[in-house]
Structure 1
Amino acid sequence: MRADARQNHTRLLEAAARAFAEHGPEASLKAIAKDAGVGIGTLYRRFPTREDLVEATYRNEVVRLAGTAGELLAEHPPVDALRAWMVRYADFMATKYGMAGALRAVLADEGGRMQTRALLTEALASILAAGVADGTIAAGLDPYDVLMSLGGISIVAGEKDQGDRVHRLIDLLLNGIAAR
């Protein structure tokens, strides 16, 4: 892919993530293209159907979120990196809920769902391991259990004006997994 085509692709996925988070799966494709700084024809060449755009946006957001674990660990102590990652996960889930209706077909694919889950669990496991190593996070935690707990918290993130509650619940979860 040419550099300009890659940039257009990236801008479209970023604009779509914002639009789906704010307006749900019926977000205007014209508005997404405009926000990305491209024409609607460019959007349709890259993503022939709305479902193609939703799937690509979802998968891109999962990869981006999983990739932030190492960055956060490089910049912060493990427990702070964990909190920041959890907040990003809640934000991601808010975006995912905006795409929920259109994501049914994507998530029905067991292989794709397992791959997504594995990426997120591995990212979380790396942060937990760093916290165990520095003594701030309890040993013996199952990263998937922590991810599922965070998923429950993130259900709240899909509701309007719940940001403060999400942050309080994340702090509560962090308190529960902190080393004693």
Structure 2
Amino acid sequence: MDTAKPMRADARRNYERLVEEAKLAFGRHGVDASLEDIARNAGVGIGTLYRHFPTREALLETLLRDKFDSQAATARELLDDPSPVDALRTWLLDIGRTSAQYRGLSESMMTALTDETSRLYASCHAMRTGLSHLVERAREAGELREDVTTQELLLLAHAVAWASEHVGSENAVDRLFDLVFGGLRAS
């Protein structure tokens, strides 16, 4: 049973403005964007931002929770794909694109995977579990190298996202991932 009181209308508006400003700021400046600027651009004080989001990670978690939950669900759906390796590639490419959305996000996600106290841990862990199933299925079908681990694939997806930040090309994630994925297929 949810015992949290509903937000007042003005508090809800402040919350929504903060989320929108955070999307813009993180999109422009990466996950290290100034929280003070986000609050100011939302028309509220920094105290209001911290009442809604006690940490930067809490704000990130709010922005990314739905996307991460969706990616976990997509992993489950892709288990029915006729080509296990194509399903794996599709999912990893989506992770790479998500990670490239905000400069510095890859590092936050990788940190969250190992920190059970992180607000992003549960969502990241659900995604990792989905990836594990896709990896296992692709291996069993003989379409993925036997020596490739789930952790390595996550690192590669995030490395591609990080590298794409420095390429400056609109389709950098796709191009770099094509190069990496070619070496992952079983001979």
For normalisation by structure 1, the TM-score amounts to: 0.63
Write the distance in 2 (CA, Å) between the matches of 1:143 and 1:100.
16
Matched with 1:79 is 85
- Structural RMSD (CA): 4.3
Matched with 2:10 is none
Cα deviation, residue 155, structure 1: 0.6
1:125 to 118, 124, 132: 132
In the TM superposition, what are the counterparts of 1:149-168 in structure 2 within 5 Å? Answer: 149-159=156-166, 161-168=168-175
User: Is residue 21–residue 98 contact of structure 1 (8 Å, CA) maintained in 2?
Assistant: no
2:98 is equivalent to residue 92 of structure 1: yes
Distance 1:16 1:83, change over 3 A: farther
Matched with 1:62 is 68
Write the distance in 1 (CA, Å) between the matches of 2:158 and 2:180.
11
SS state at 1:97 partner: coil
1:51-83 Cα offsets, whole Å, 9 max, x none, are 332243245543333332112333562222222
Matched with 1:110 is 115
For normalisation by structure 2, the TM-score amounts to: 0.61
Cα deviation, residue 91, structure 1: 1.8
Write the distance in 2 (CA, Å) between the matches of 1:80 and 1:19.
34
One-letter identity of the residue aligned with 1:178: R
Write the distance in 1 (CA, Å) between the matches of 2:39 and 2:94.
25
One-letter identity of the residue aligned with 1:95: Q
Q: What percent of counterpart residues are identical?
A: 23
User: Is residue 66–residue 120 contact of structure 1 (8 Å, CA) maintained in 2?
Assistant: yes
More helix by share: 1
Distance 1:30 1:127, change over 3 A: farther
User: Is residue 66–residue 123 contact of structure 1 (8 Å, CA) maintained in 2?
Assistant: yes
Aligned length: 167
One-letter identity of the residue aligned with 1:167: D
Cα deviation, residue 16, structure 1: 4.9
1:146 to 122, 137, 153: 153
Distance 1:89 1:30, change over 3 A: farther
Write the distance in 2 (CA, Å) between the matches of 1:133 and 1:14.
43
SS state at 1:79 partner: helix
Structure 1: runs of 5 or more not aligned = 34-38
